[in-house]
A = this chain, B = another copy of it.
Amino acid sequence: MSQGVRERRHGACEGASVRPGYDIAPWQLRWTGLAVDQLHRTESTFALANGHLGMRGSLDEGEPVGLPGTYLNGFYEEHALPYAEAGYGYPEAGQTVVNVTDGKVIRLLVEDEPLDMRYGQAHAHQRTLDFRSGLLTRETDWESPTGRRVRVRTRRLVSFTQRAVAAIRYEVEPVDGTVQLVVQSDLLANEPIESSTRDPRVAAALKSPLVGEFHSAEDHRAVLVHRTRESGLRMAAAMDHEIEVGDGLRTEIRAEADLARLTAAVDVAAGQTLVVTKFLGYGWSAQRSAPALRAQVEAALAGARQTSWAGLLAEQRAFLDDFWDVADVEIDGDDALQQAVRLALFHILQAGARGESRAIPGKGLTGPGYDGHAFWDTETFVLPVLTYTVPDAARDALGWRHSTLPKACERARVLGKRGAAFPWRSINGAECSAYWPAGTAAFHVSADIADATARYFAATGDAEFDRTQGTELLVETARLWASLGHHDPHDGFRIDGVTGPDEYTAVVDNNVYTNLMAQKNLTEAAAACERNPEVARRLAVTDEETASWLTAARETHVPYDDMLRVHPQSEGFTQHEEWDFANTPAEHYPLLLNYPYFDLYRKQVVKQADLVLALHLRGDAFTFADKVRDFAYYEARTVRDSSLSAATQAVIAAECGHLDLAYDYLVEAAMTDLHDLHDNVRNGLHMASLAGAWQAVVAGFGGMRDHGGELTFAPRLPPALHRVAFRMCFRGSRLQVVIEPGQATYRLVSGDPRTVSHHGEPLVIGPDAPVTRPVPPAPEHPTPTPPPGRAPRRHAKPV
């Protein structure tokens, strides 16, 4: 058993090697020691997923546990949403991700003593997530209370190549003489979980969400089929096993409604190893019958066994090698950041790789946070990463949105609008937000989807997508804006009464972000109709309609404060009272838990980048001087009570030349989950923040922009780092950009030459040799200051 090289340790107490925590390594995340009270965190960071199936990083033996969780993307239970005062258009049904049948559980009895890390003595214990193999490895050297010692090594994978399949290799080696080992390998439905919800109806819905429909067990194989009570979805889980050991193995298998168990008992001598390989197959459907689902998971198992454990490992490695070839980010000068950025990319891949016709939830498949819902974060933060690294995954995620267009159009109709109003939060495409300022007014979601659609098309030239899905997404979202806005004699095309990205304002007029994103949406829709006239005809788009879009786009009102020379985030924002930061104690953050909405909404306090996000995504609509003034103005008023902010602040800080500040924000974005900065990582990882780490590197220090579908760079290295390199693909070509002191180098990794620009200078990246260009010095301005106590953080608050 290799301990590997002990590098520096994350955390406030560096060098305190007795204290459990993450070790720093470039290609791995490793936790040495046990720390039962930290299990909920590591279960999230060690989660394995492929976008279809996700498993939290629980210990094999099921207990101790923070929060058990196995998730199938799109599989949810429904529950009534209660309102003390209901209103028109309030959604009546909520959706909540369900912890499905747990196939991870493998228990070990050593001479009748259950392996339980809370008892006996752990001579060694570590868990390692490897970003290149895609394996979660656990190594334990344990002495039972009665003095018998075993070494246990388990490796777990959720296959990227076989989306319905997971596999576990479980190895036990007695250390001090022959012992009797009993292994129990389970499929366990309706695991007891502690719900954090305060709503008794949701808690009831989730208490025992699965109703057994079928179970069978035979030989080493078992299947359980369940359905949900309310949402009417059906799922199946199956397991099969291969057992390698000397003589004397006795096995038994049985199944009941909520439990299938293989029991294997054998005497194993010291130096010998009991090896159990467990193959898991999962599937769910809203339509297929129990026998059909059973057949489906048994087929998945058969495929996995045919591939074999070694084959699954090899496929996983090959898949990841290809991913890192197109997506790797190298950070020289900050090892912890290097590790965090690769972890981020690994989890983004896990969230999106094989989602296919389903959403990418805000927490991926790493935990039950946000009820398993997907938000606009996916399009705005996650999809840019996928678009430039695994574009097929971006296409699939947009395909999910396209598949929910009927629901979005119906929602728009209920709200009295035309086109498509995509939900604030959802699993199946229907709005689930019980808070109407978000659930009915945050229309920017639709522009964000349009933006991701246009970006994907520009970055891939995927004409098939453009024709079959993209144009329709652009047209229906454009129609929403055309019916939401109005031409006013005072000041042009206004969009009133909407909620922008910042959750500390709501239902405002002319939110600059929303207006500019809508403007882009309208012009992109007109362009798509021009590219695809037959699609436009099918959607009954007339020339008058596209003309009206272009008129609205041209006349879009963008408010500006002439006195302060900045853009108000929305109409009137800069006339609002300033937040009293001086009298806001640190423990009053996040503010929304300690101040009423009305007071947050009416003051100049910003939860997350909003105008600053417009400076990024619609940077083409601002002068550089605007950006510098606007960024400084909002920097002083943005508290980052959201994980959706630091990355965007990093990007614009870098553009404005505040490189140290940009670096600090990059670090915060990258460390959000590793250091549990928002104290909620137990419920899952923040996909948007993980994606934000990539954004902060690529769009921040790389200065990458894609306005109008052109790929441009403006790289600059922050003083704290020696070198930053990143890879990406664009229209099928893989590129690498290396940023070093004073210069940047562009290299074609594979594919056709591409024309890009470097700080405004066009250049061709071709096959011959890398192109190196000098980097102009950063413009100098005073570095703006965040609100008191709200500077970027690398670590959680000291404990």
Contact = CB atoms under 8 A, between A and B. Distances in A.
Interface of A: 81-89, 94, 198-199, 414-417, 433-437, 440-441, 486, 488-491, 494, 496-498, 506-507, 509, 563, 571-572, 574-577, 592-599, 601-603
A576 B88 contact: no
Contacts of A577: 486, 488, 494, 496
Given A440-B598, A497-B598, A601-B497, A491 B82 contact: no
A640 to B, nearest CB: 18
7 contacts: A85-B435, A88-B596, A437-B598, A486-B577, A497-B576, A507-B601, A509-B575
B441 A598 contact: yes
B434 A88 contact: no
Contacts of A83: 82-84, 199, 434
A96 to B, nearest CB: 11
Contacts of A434: 83-85
Contact of A89 (B82, B199, B494, B596): B596
B572 A572 contact: yes
A504 to B, nearest CB: 11
Contacts of A441: 598
Contacts of A602: 496-498, 507, 509
A415 B598 contact: yes
A563 B415 contact: no
- 10 tightest Cβ-Cβ pairs between the two chains A and B: A497-B602, A84-B434, A82-B82, A486-B577, A89-B596, A81-B84, A441-B598, A496-B602, A85-B435, A85-B434
Nearest to A577: B486
Nearest to A578: B486
Given A84-B81, A199-B82, A572 B440 contact: no
A437 B417 CA distance: 23
Given A486-B577, A496-B602, A572-B572, 13 more contacts: A82-B84, A87-B592, A88-B596, A416-B595, A436-B596, A490-B563, A490-B574, A496-B575, A497-B576, A497-B598, A497-B601, A497-B602, A497-B603
Contacts of A575: 488, 490-491, 494, 496, 509
A506 B486 CA distance: 20
Contact of A440 (B496, B497, B597, B603): B597
A53 to B, nearest CB: 29
B494 A595 contact: no
A489 B578 CA distance: 12
A43 B587 CA distance: 55
Nearest to A490: B575
Nearest to A596: B89
A592 B87 CA distance: 8
A215 to B, nearest CB: 35
Contact of A598 (B81, B85, B436): B436
A497 B599 contact: yes
B596 A415 contact: yes
A593 B88 contact: yes
A436 B599 CA distance: 11
A208 B457 CA distance: 63
Contacts of A563: 489-490
A87 B597 contact: yes
A440 B596 contact: yes
A199 B86 CA distance: 10
A602 B416 CA distance: 13
A198 B90 CA distance: 14
A433 B85 contact: yes
Contacts of A592: 87-88
Contacts of A598: 415, 436-437, 440-441, 497-498, 507
Contacts of A603: 496-497
B507 A599 contact: no
A509 B416 CA distance: 25
Contacts of A440: 596-598
Contacts of A489: 563
Contacts of A437: 598
Contacts of A498: 598, 602
B89 A84 contact: no
Contact of A94 (B84, B88, B506): B84
Nearest to A415: B596
B599 A416 contact: yes
A425 to B, nearest CB: 10
Nearest to A433: B85
Contacts of A595: 88-89, 416
A87 B486 CA distance: 32
A354 B299 CA distance: 80
